[in-house]
Structure 1
Amino acid sequence: MATNIIIQGLPPKVYALVINHKVIKALWERIQLLMQGTSLTKQERECKLYDEFDMFAYKKGESLHEFYLRFPLLLNDNNMKLEQFQVNTKFLNTLPPEWSKFMTDVKLVRDLHTTNVDQFHAYLVQHEFHANEVRLMHERNSDPLALVTTYQMTQSPYQTHQRSYQHT
């Protein structure tokens, strides 16, 4: 009876591989192996998940909200067991440079061991406009051609003409 209940809940591919087992213990061991893998494959899968976590990064052009939505998906989908401090540190340190001032504020004022990512997001959303301004200013000033163009646009022809008379 119990065997039938277990077998009915299996995916079709696993069912096809275990249907011929007559001994319950052998059947159960085979199901466990097929569903969970060996301890080596579990370990390999866990290493891969932690590598994904380590490589998680803010995507260029991504909004804070999009980043915030992707982050818990990574944690939940992979069923990762991490300390709150690790999760918070990863979230904050992965933000792009325009957020550095606000990250510093958060790290100084909030307890990284007890505050959660939702609370950080709620705080940071209030400052997204300013962070975007910093990013735009940095993009404008980091491009030498844009810097020259901006400089030329701020110079009036009168200033240039007036300076040429002063040098003679």
Structure 2
Amino acid sequence: MTTLAEQIIVAGAENRPPMLEKSMYDSWASRIRLFIKGKKHVRMMLDSIDNGSLVYPTVEEDGQTRPKKYPELTKAQQLQDDCDVQATNIILHGLPPDVYALVNHQEAAKDIWDKVKLLMKGTELSYQERECRLYNLFDKFASQVQVNTKFLNALPPEWSKFVTDVKLAKSLYTTNYDQLYTHLSQHERHAQEVRIMRERYPDPLALVANSQTLYNPS
């Protein structure tokens, strides 16, 4: 059997609006609406969020026009005004302190609701932008590696030794095509010597025996 204190705690938890998590705005917005649907005069409170608060009717007094005061409203208007206030409080109680500080100067539930949505959708967009940048950066690296690899693999056989040295000395992720070309062009003369030796001595044993003059990069 639960104690009175436990019943009060449970009741307080049930009456507490769901708290906004910045990365889950859509979920919070749905849960706030479900929370309101459990209250009395749900239609009026949701109308306050979607369409705005009651606009006080005006009255002529001493030749001037002024908004009516609360006691001067009809019963239906007073009820709508009460629902506007209740909807505002529900939304504000579901906001973390930093978001609350940005919107608490607003009085109308719709204004607060729209402002929170704008703030949170902007936050979600920034997450998406950062994610897109990461994907674009990865695609850029992957594309650069493919270009560099194709370039190196397309070189004639006499370049194979120098290609291996480049792969060991350079990062294909951070080195662009022009840098690879510049680095390899330093060994062009030696690559040509290898080609000439291969043509002169097609027999591998003869090539090895006469390859003392070949360039051997450190």
- TM-score over 0.5 for the alignment? no
TM-score by length of 2: 0.28
Larger radius of gyration: 2
